[in-house]
A and B are shown apart, each in its own frame.
Chain A
Amino acid sequence: MEAKTLLEIKNLKKYFEISQGMFKEKINVRAVDDISFSVREGETFALVGESGCGKSTTGRTILRLTDPTDGQIVFKGKNIEKLPYNQMRALRNRMQMVFQDPYASLNPKKTIRQILMEPLRVHNKFPREERLEKINNMLKIVGLSEEHLDRYPHEFSGGQRQRIGIARAVILQPDFIIADEPVSALDVSVQSQVINLMLDLQEEFGLTYLFISHDLSVIEHMTDRVAVMYLGKIVEVADTEELFANPRHPYTQALISAVPISHPDEEKERIILTGDVPSPANPPSGCSFHTRCPFAMDICRKVEPVSKEFSNGHKANCHLYTDSENKEEKEYAINHS
């Protein structure tokens, strides 16, 4: 039953340096700080978190659109974090990306024909004569048609543009697609159309998705496993159903409780977090969540928690579960959460 691992991320770090002037020390922004996870073949793995938590940077670093500072990226058993530009470029026909903003990610000066032809030309895929036919097929699959070929992106609505963005990624028949907030810029009724399209494509081509989003209801609907990120770190990983039924980390609990209700009669216990996400340039000591955590203890301010496994791949990084001292106090806190 254990599926093959397609992508493995080990201790990935991405720091951005901000220059403060000639004589001052540079500030390191730890956008992604030592994260590890693995994505199995055929599954949809979600990265969830608030803006600024490093989820998009993680996606871009995996595709080497930015170079990692440290750590390993293993794709199909092969380390790709130091691959030279040419080889990396060739490898991108196996891994593709769908971007968040359908208005900014299509070149406004190119027709749809050119936009969809480009990946085929760059990767020299299919004989020339067949390419147009493949493009037409692809357009049909994503719900557009041949007559759209010579139009420009501005003639399409947001939902249609996102379909073109998805078509551009899928036309190379990759194994792995990173979808960075693919539906958050879309209207509700169009959002469900695009989600359906992504589910259909996954079934048809056996795709593996890394689905980056901040929308928990979409994640609950379409993903298999979730990693929750906070300030550049993964604080909890679990199967989607398990995570929503039984969140362990206080941040995950707060995040899930903050989702608006779906019916006015629904009563919801809210954990309302105080304050904002701290700056990643100057993260708090110890557990990075302690400044907003309702259960923060002394140890949280000093020591960074390590990962603890609960059951079958459900892991969380929190002192509430690791430390053996003050056990009673913690149990009290957990039971009253």
Chain B
Amino acid sequence: MSDTILKVKDLKIQFKTGKKTVQPIRGVDFSIKKGETLGVVGESGSGKSVTSLAVMGLLPEKTSEIISGEIVFDGKDLTNLKEKHFRKLRGNDISMIFQEPMTSLNPVFTIGEQLSEPLKQHKKMSKKEIETAIIAVLTQVGIPRAEQIIHEYPHQLSGGMRQRVMISLALLGQPKLMIADEPTTALDVTIQAQILKLMKDIKKQHDMSLLLITHDLGVVAEMCDRVVVMYAGEIVEVAEVKELFDNPLHPYTRGLIESLPSKNTRKNRLYSIKGQVPKPNEITKGCIFANRCPFAFSKCFEETPPVQHTGNHMSKCWLQDSNKDEVS
């Protein structure tokens, strides 16, 4: 237990939409070790953001419900934690960077005011100490003229600068775990390279764990130690990053890697996975990927595949079952 910072066990989440209920997360299991970067890859609608919101305790209270499973952070179960206790944790032990640096800062407060909020919440510090702490952290994320920036408003900063402010906001409480939900998707490539490098450096300095949610396999290859591949609310594969790229076991992972333009000969048709991600209310029995899978056989449409372990490499596919020889 000592080196596992976060453990999510058989998590199931349900949403109410009108009279119906949908279950966007159906049994998610993973853990993050101390100092590790875990990537969560998946397309939109695969449930990666919902999972991270559940860890942060940010799911809408009225419409959502964790029906089973547990989220254990640093030895504490978070699933039934009261809001009051969650507030002590958020921004202090776990912090989060959101996708849209444009919308996740409040436009009517100055950068300084927004950055002082977590310190006022969690630490007993004088105004002077708060200001020094903020300037120190802004300098650390590479923001020039930090003394002036704290009196400016978010609209005066560019996208890359705003994302740096978000990162510094997440760093203020010196968290043990940082969750980054698509931190660079809204940014240009040259700015993305800056931010990724910054996150790598900071993670090393502070010895935190990082949960990096993304749909970009390039970012995963660059940043992560281990990768979780999610598809339609389930985890289909977990492996070390090198193992995943060299030897992907699940057809969905294989498809994702094959469809990268750089893996295909120029000007030729790209490898593509046919069809699209099923909506949570369209899921039937059997393997969730069966209707798009090029290797699907009758069993895939009938039964949910079991979890298969090969060393540290986990996958959820009938092809990895003992009788796989006759199919592949």
Contacts and interface: CB of A to CB of B under 8 A. Distances in A.
Interface in A243-302: 254-255, 257-266, 270, 272-274, 276-277
Interface in B154-207: 158-161, 188-194, 196-197
A156 to B, nearest CB: 10
Interface stretch (B25-33, B121-129, B267-275, B307-315): B267-275
Contact of A262 (B217, B241, B276): B217
A192 B262 contact: no
Place the interface of chain B in its size category: 35 or more
A270 B193 contact: yes
B260 A217 contact: yes
Given A159-B276, A265-B242, A272-B197, A189 B256 contact: yes
Interface string A15-27: 0000000000000
Contacts of B267: 199, 221-222
A218 interface: yes
Interface string A97-125: 00000000000000000000000000000
A187 B44 CA distance: 7
A28 B191 CA distance: 26
Contacts of B216: 188, 260
A189, A261, A262, A277 interface centre (most CB from chain B within 10 Å): A189
A255 B266 contact: no
B18 interface: no
A218 B266 CA distance: 10
A188 B215 contact: yes
B219 interface: yes
B259 A192 contact: yes
Contacts of B303: none
Contacts of A241: 266
Contact of A192 (B192, B196, B271): B271
Contact of B188 (A188, A192, A214, A264): A214
B261 interface: yes
Contact of B277 (A187, A257, A265): A187
A11 interface: no
A273 B191 CA distance: 8
A337 interface: no
Contacts of A266: 221
B217 A220 contact: no
B256 A276 contact: no
A50 B189 contact: yes
B190, B218, B221, B267 interface centre (most CB from chain A within 10 Å): B190
Contact of A261 (B161, B191, B218, B255): B218
Contacts of A277: 158, 188
B321 interface: no
A66 interface: no
B72 to A, nearest CB: 29
Interface of B: 43-44, 158-161, 188-194, 196-197, 215-219, 221-222, 241-242, 245, 255-256, 259-264, 266-267, 269-274, 276-277
Cβ-closest 9 pairs across A and B: A260-B218, A221-B261, A192-B272, A50-B188, A192-B270, A258-B193, A187-B43, A192-B259, A189-B273
Interface of A: 50-51, 157, 159-160, 187-193, 195-196, 199-200, 214, 216-218, 220-222, 240-241, 254-255, 257-266, 270, 272-274, 276-277
29 contacts: A50-B188, A50-B190, A51-B188, A157-B276, A188-B215, A188-B259, A189-B273, A192-B259, A193-B274, A196-B269, A214-B188, A217-B262, A218-B261, A221-B266, A260-B216, A260-B218, A260-B219, A261-B218, A262-B260, A263-B245, A264-B242, A264-B245, A265-B245, A270-B193, A272-B190, A272-B194, A273-B193, A276-B158, A276-B161
